[in-house]
Amino acid sequence: MIDEQKEREEFETEAAQYGFNLDRQELPTVEPWDEYQDCAAGHRWGGWLARAEIAEADRWQPIETAPKDGTRILLCRNELIEPVTVGFWSMVECNWFTPLWANNRHSPICWMPLPNPPAKGERE
């Protein structure tokens, strides 16, 4: 989960360098881009938050947080040979399964969701 306060501080520091009016609305707002009186600053804030959320999703996460419902994910182990592979939690064996790690003796230390496949036009 992103630290919104930290992200806002970084955003406002950078936006101030470009001269954006960072005065906030006094009324309650629903969308992130409505928080600033300056529409351009508000839309940039919305984009900043979206970028932060995407970056957070693309990071390795502790193995304890991985799904254990059979979803295929990227697994990483602390080994020099084949450190990253696709695998899943086997409910039958009650262990992480991947065909590349012999006998599954090496426990993964972190995981990441699989990326989306390329769009149809990008596959050729």
Residue 44, pLDDT > 90, answer no
Residue 37 DSSP label: S
> For 23-39, what is each residue's pLDDT tens digit?
887 777 667 667 788 87
% helix, strand, coil for the chain, step of 5: 35, 20, 45
pLDDT at 106: 63
pLDDT value, residue 48: 81
Per the model's pLDDT, the better-predicted residue between 116 and 89 turns out to be: 89
Least confident residue range of 4-13, 96-105, 113-122: 96-105
Reference 20, options 50, 44, 4; nearest CA is 44
pLDDT for res 66:
93
Q: What pLDDT score does 63 carry?
A: 92
DSSP symbol at 89: E
Task: Give, in order, the Cα–Cα distances in Å from 14 to each of 7, 11, 37, 48, 53.
Answer: 11, 5, 17, 11, 18
pLDDT tens figures, 45-86: 888 887 777 666 678 889 999 999 999 999 988 766 668 889
